[in-house]
Chains A and B, each alone.
Chain A
Amino acid sequence: MNRFEYIRPRSVAEAVAAAAIPGSAYLAAGTNLLDLMKIGVARPGRLIDLNHLPGLDAIETLPGGAVRIGAQVRNAELAHDPEFARRFPAVAEALLSGASAQLRNAATVGGNLMQRTRCAWFQDTASACNRREPGTGCDALGGENRMHAVLGWSEHCIATHPSDFCVPLVALDAVVEIEGAGGRRDIPLADFHLLPGTTPERESVLAPGELVIAVRLPAEAAGFAAHARYAKLRERTSYAFAVVSAAAGLRIANGRIVEARLALGGVAAKPWRAEAAEASLAGAAPDADAFRRAAEIAMAEAKPSGDNAFKIELARRIAIRALTQAAAGTPDRLPALPASSFASNAGAPNMGGLHV
């Protein structure tokens, strides 16, 4: 890790001013930033510590029912906030399916949005990577890239965004509050992360020095609480990033879907909102056919970026799973293994009850 100057601002204004100097980086919990500094991928000259800033660690319900989550709220704190988890269960489930209990206790909302890709070549400074070093090429192309993107990628970069949290957030129309030298602005989360195009190094709309101060969920987002789930496919039962994941929310009345929300994770450089698929569900009966059709639509544009054609079908299936589970209704208590295939398998060895 390189030596850096450590700066502890007292206010958001001070933080933003400090970050205006090139080479600065915000330090939230550091679970991603310090990791990248240790492996030489990030070498900031100045760290602006957000941990002592007042006013960034509250979960507030705004008049009208929207909820505003401060950027420094810890992932675990948010997931375990009873009121929040009741109104936005898929968000809680996604949070609790990510990383480990220790990491969730530390990791912040802002850091989770801003975490970098887990692409192995991005993390390996001896490899070519356009995202890390613009113009050097992309060694993930032609490597063992089974985990890479199937939507929205370009020849310049095929990386995915690894966050679980962002997937239900984007489905629920979350808005990111940003503070910069030029003042405050709001950006829908759907527009916050950028697809690689020819500039994969530009990962979000944040201008240098801009600070995420909060994420807002509109009041309407709570309207899906009765039918909201997150499903995550991973390669071990816990403590693993998503291969593919999906967040689904439904409003159902009289046996028909009134409104649907669907987003996919692990498929693109951003949390992938599937609006056309949502539209196909409006007015439909919440059944297997409708969900299959929606999943097809969601993945219509998908194409493999390497050895990962299998992910396209898996993404369809995880979308169907999330929709099916959402239709069945949000459980009163999150399962022991959040978002898992084995969620309702209580763990007691199953000696009988086999259906042959």
Chain B
Amino acid sequence: MSMSVTLTVNRVPHTVQLDDPRVTLLDLLRERLDLTGTKKGCDRGQCGACTILLDGRRVNSCLALAISHDGAEIQTIEGLAEGGALHPVQAAFIAHDAFQCGFCTPGQIMSAIGLIDEGQAGEDPERVREGMSGNLCRCGAYRGITEAVIEATRSMAEDAQEKAA
């Protein structure tokens, strides 16, 4: 049983022939599309390392069946830096030392972008912490992560204002 799935990943359309319906979005990205920036920490929705934006919303790609998301729009860590310029969240992660080993980092950054877009947390540190709690960091970079998300929220809001003006 071969099935084809069409996905737009980082604005590039991909049509993948799937020999196997069991493939998760995470394994599809990592093992079949060579987009290995998205990480697997648990494969069970328990760590957030595999966070991607699926049709604009942050989800755990390890618990999403690729075949079920035919036609979806996906954004991963590889698609963020445009023309070499870092996304504000990426830049803020470096500035605030929001990672150590870097393994959870792609998931943290995608989650942060989702969080900022959801607009529920704003610059309230407690809401940011809660909103980022689906991303474990065993290195314990939480302080930097919270600071980076708040800074990026602020700078993105300022950019948006400037653009609007």
Interface string of B95-123 (1 = CB under 8 A from A): 00000000000000001001100101000
Partner of A347, one of B51, B58, B129: B129
Give the one of A1, A3, A100 with max B CB within 10 A: A100
- B contact residues, total (Cβ < 8 Å): 37
Chain A residues with Cβ below 8 Å from B79 are none
A interface majority secondary structure = loop
Q: Does B34 lie at the interface of the complex (its beta carbon under 8 Å from any beta carbon of A)?
A: no
Q: How many A-B residue pairs have CB under 8 A?
A: 107
A6-B3, A38-B44, A102-B59 as given contacts; A30 in contact with B65, CB under 8 Å = yes
Q: Does A187 lie at the interface of the complex (its beta carbon under 8 Å from any beta carbon of B)?
A: no
A106 touches B126 (CB 8 A): no
A27 touches B22 (CB 8 A): no
Q: How far is the CA of A74 from the CA of B129 in the complex (A)?
A: 22
Besides A3-B22, A100-B134, A347-B129, 15 new A-B residue pairs in contact (Cβ under 8 A), listed by A number:
A27-B65, A27-B68, A29-B63, A34-B65, A51-B69, A100-B60, A100-B135, A101-B111, A101-B115, A101-B131, A102-B48, A105-B57, A237-B133, A337-B126, A348-B125
Q: Does B14 lie at the interface of the complex (its beta carbon under 8 Å from any beta carbon of A)?
A: no
Q: Which of B8-35 contact A (CB under 8 A)?
A: 20-22, 24
Partner of B59, one of A6, A106, A347: A106
Interface string of A74-103 (1 = CB under 8 A from B): 001000100000000000000000011111
Q: How far is the CA of A237 from the CA of B115 in the complex (A)?
A: 18
Q: How far is the CA of A115 from the CA of B153 in the complex (A)?
A: 35
Chain A residues with Cβ below 8 Å from B125 are 347-348
Chain B residues with Cβ below 8 Å from A348 are 125
A30 touches B134 (CB 8 A): no
Category for how many chain A residues contact B: 35 or more
Q: How far is the CA of A277 from the CA of B1 in the complex (A)?
A: 56
Which A positions have Cβ atoms within 8 angstroms of B?
A: 1, 3-6, 27, 29-31, 34-35, 38-39, 47, 49, 51, 76, 80, 99-103, 105-106, 237-239, 336-338, 345-348
Q: How far is the CA of A3 from the CA of B65 in the complex (A)?
A: 13
Partner of A100, one of B20, B43, B129, B133: B133
CB nearest neighbor in A for B127: A336
Chain A residues with Cβ below 8 Å from B45 are 31, 35, 99-100, 102-103
A347 touches B126 (CB 8 A): yes
Partner of B44, one of A6, A35, A239: A35
Interface string of B47-60 (1 = CB under 8 A from A): 01001001001111
Q: Does B124 lie at the interface of the complex (its beta carbon under 8 Å from any beta carbon of A)?
A: yes
Q: Does B152 lie at the interface of the complex (its beta carbon under 8 Å from any beta carbon of A)?
A: no
A3 touches B63 (CB 8 A): no
* Cβ distance B58 to chain A, nearest Cβ, rounded Å: 5
Chain B residues with Cβ below 8 Å from A31 are 45, 60, 63
* Cβ distance B104 to chain A, nearest Cβ, rounded Å: 13
Chain A residues with Cβ below 8 Å from B111 are 101-102
A35 touches B21 (CB 8 A): no
| 10 CB < 8 A contacts A-B | A3-B21, A6-B21, A30-B68, A34-B64, A39-B44, A100-B133, A101-B131, A101-B133, A102-B111, A348-B125
B58 touches A105 (CB 8 A): yes
Partner of A34, one of B1, B24, B48, B59: B24
A6-B3, A347-B129 as given contacts; A106 in contact with B63, CB under 8 Å = yes
Chain A residues with Cβ below 8 Å from B162 are none
Q: Does B130 lie at the interface of the complex (its beta carbon under 8 Å from any beta carbon of A)?
A: yes
Chain B residues with Cβ below 8 Å from A34 are 24, 63-65
